[in-house]
Amino acid sequence: MPDMSVGLIIAMPLRQWGLIDASMDNDASVETVDGNRQRADLARSIRQAGLDQLYRWTSGVSGSGSWPPPDDIVKPKLTIAQWLLTIDVLERWAAAADRTGRHEAAAQERELRELILSRLQAHGVRLPEALVGNPGPEQPRTSESWPSPE
C-alpha cells in the first residue's frame, strides 16, 4: 500500500472540481448523521483543500472571493488517502444519481472518477482492487479504511 499521506496534484477544469466539492459535501453530511465520522472528516478536508486553493478573497479587490470560470484549470493537491476517498465518493453519488434517474450526472461523476483513477495509476499509485472495480455504495469501506485527514 502506498504512503497515504503523499500529496499529488491532479489538474482538471473547475467544473469537474465542482462535482468533487458537491459530492464531498453530500458525503460528509450523510456520514456525519448516519455513519462514519472519520470518513466525514476526510471528505471535509478535501473540500477545504479545494477552497484553500480556489476561493481567495482580498479586501477591496472587486471580483476576488469568487470562483474562477468553469473552464479554468485547477490543480488541487490532495493526499493519496483523499484521492482514494474521492474515487469512492464519486461512485457512491453516481449510483445515487442513477437510482433517481439523473443519468447524465451519474455519467459525469463516473467519467471524472475514471480520470482520477488513470492519473493516480500514471503516478504509480497501486490502487485497492475494490476501488478499481467500482464498488459503489453497496460495498462501503469500513471505518478502519479511512485514515484521518491529518
- Each residue's pLDDT tens digit, 70-114: 788 888 899 999 999 999 999 999 999 999 999 999 999 999 999
Grid cell of 138 as nine digits? 453497496
Do residues 143 and 36 touch, judged by C-beta distance below 8 A? yes
Predicted confidence at residue 60, as pLDDT, reads 58
User: What residues pair up with 79 in beta bridges, in sequence order?
Assistant: 7
> 46-58 pLDDT, tens per residue?
998 888 777 665 5
Q: Delimit the domains of the chain by residue range.
A: 7-130
In the predicted model, is pLDDT for residue 65 greater than 80?
no
Q: How far apart are CA 123 and CA 126, in angstroms?
A: 9
Do residues 145 and 131 touch, judged by C-beta distance below 8 A? no
Whole-prediction pTM value? 0.79
Q: 3-state SS string over 4-21? A: CCCEEECCEEHHHHHHHH
